[in-house]
Structure 1
Amino acid sequence: MVDFQKTRDAFDLPEGIVYLDGNSLGPLPRAATARVSALLRDEWGQRLIRGWNEAGWMAQPGRTGDRIACLIGAAPDTVTVGDTLSIRLHQALHAALQAAPDRREVLTCSGNFPSDLYIAEGLLRTLDKGHTLRVVPPQEVAATLSDQTAVLMLTEVDYRTGRLHDMARLTRAAHNLGAVTVWDLAHSAGALPVDLRGTNADFAVGCTYKYLNGGPGAPAFLYVRPDRAEQVSPALPGWLGHAAPFEFEPSYRPAPGISRMRIGTPPVIALAALETALDIFDDVAMSDIRARSITLSERFIAGADALGLQLMSPRDPARRGSQVSIAHPEGYAMMQALISRGVIGDFRAPDLMRFGFAPLYNTEADIDTALAHLSDVVLNRLWDNPAYSVRQAVT
């Protein structure tokens, strides 16, 4: 049986705070402070540039990638870590388009994070080969797939509502029509079981600062199915994706497999913090995390229902990720009122309050406390305070 009290103790959670925003930024792992401090002091401070060899810095992207692979159902040597999610998506989509050279449609849905759509639009415009980006409602994706689809590009869990796509079914449907798949796992990795190998997904990307708890701006990951990896000609052929970077050849020669998708210098300090966060997953099965996530979210939904609030997430937990979204015309002010009382979630325009559930550190007591404050805010109209309506830069 999983000891979730032990995993909770592995995080440095502020006293008196109920943190339900791990779907935006995970909390600080206690071990990260000492690990990063040691890296600064003993590795960078004492070894200087020798740290690349002596401290294993250069191997971090692959080493960390293998640890993430365990959490997303991928084989070893299929995941690399570094750069941002936007860069990783650009790489994956470009590679997917290479695999479908005779087709011109990229199919996606309105549940994708806007940045994914921006990246796709920019890439297709730059390629200037007549590609189109077709955006449909999430529930219409399967019916819209056709033999004209080059790439199906989807975020598995909708960042607004938590709606969960059926990766296995949609990947199979895409492949049956000759299309290639790109999955964004930003709201999946570390929150629910993912089976990239079992679903035969072609490409996947994701960030590490949400449910993986890697810290603000933590680097993103990229997965390429092994049989695809040797066929990819990277859109961003970086120095460290070269077969022999320290030969300093004037022309690019791709490294084997996933390594060719490396671009620039690894973010050593950020990767060290991420490694401590991944340590917390070592003794926990993703199936256990998922089961507890459902328990917590169902408890929260029951309380929200009792308050008459409008649930925007799927009611069926099998169709929902690890967050619950509630719509309210005063959603921003209501969330600010909650935050002022020590219950931290977030807001997404125009009217969604989001609550993320991370079983590694959230408890039933957290849910009950959050609901008690939510009840007070709703029943006593505590949001009706002008200060709570002042929009901050980050909502």
Structure 2
Amino acid sequence: MHRLDIKQKTDIRLVDISPDFWYPIAWSKELRRGKTIGRYFGRQSIALIRPKRGPVFALENRCAHRQVPLSKGTVEGDSVKCCYHGWAYGRTGKCLDIPYLGKDENREKIINRVRSYPCREAGGMIFVFPGDPEKADKVPFPQLAQVNNPAFKTRQFNPSVKCHYTFMHENLMDMNHQFLHRRQMGQIRARYLGGETGEDFVEARYSFARTGTQQPLAERLIFGKHTYDPNKIQPVEEVVTIRTTYPYQRLFIHDKDGDLVMELFAAYVPNSPSGKSCQTFGLLSVLRPQTPLLIDIIWPVLGIFTNRIFQEDKEVVEMEQRAWNELGGDRNREVFPIVNKLRDLLINNGITH
């Protein structure tokens, strides 16, 4: 099928995200030693198990016996025991023990197993590979902002949003929506500087022209004071680059000297069988100012500022999802070329039913 045909016939909100990538499905801090929790990747229910010793592992969140969630079970050694009858499963998903059967009967019944998932921890997140496990070692692991760079300070954000994951990609890629954030950002206008596309990525670059004197405190503390002179053409103070490298999204801010001052990593993970909700896993790294401890002083201000921005985005994408529900399909009339290229990317790399 040619791309033009795909654009005409495919409703982007019905395109599932490809499972053949590494996806975060929980924060490391959510899973204590000797415990298990359950999470969804789309229609797949997954149990994450952290033994008292050793790394986290991930299994299908259903006992092979009665389909009860293993996330309700008990962690013992390097296995998890179903809460119902005590069937025990190891890291590979193989059933290790059925406690009420004798040894000979156990040997015959232990052919039961559940699916296991490639699993690893990085950047304070637990990742799984929900697709073909044979591809896991060949697929590049995402770069997680600047979490390992001591020159930056990183905060986590994790809003759960009641919308299809594609709305989130469109929201960040299209910086023309700054009017939405006028109460937080003041009066600014995005200036599109161009973009690039490839088989697995779309990138857009912007600067911002301030059209009023109001400048948020968090912005002023990080980037310095920007004055507005209506009689002069404003210089490009910072360049904001948004890049979707399927299936992740990143944002970079470089100052006028070309130095990186802020980086965002975001993954939007479908967390329900309906596909109409997703969990955001975000890492926001900010360059530490030269003044010692200044970043720690401004950190709470930055947190409040970014949370308000995210809440406004959350509200509007959820309104978009409700409109799709009510209209019975995608009625968007997109006119911004880079967003249309983004939509092509998400369709062409996703799973179309």
Q: If the length of structure 2 is used for normalisation, what is the TM-score? A: 0.28
Higher helix share: 1
Q: Which structure has the bigger radius of gyration?
A: 2
In terms of fraction of residues, the more strand-rich structure is: 2
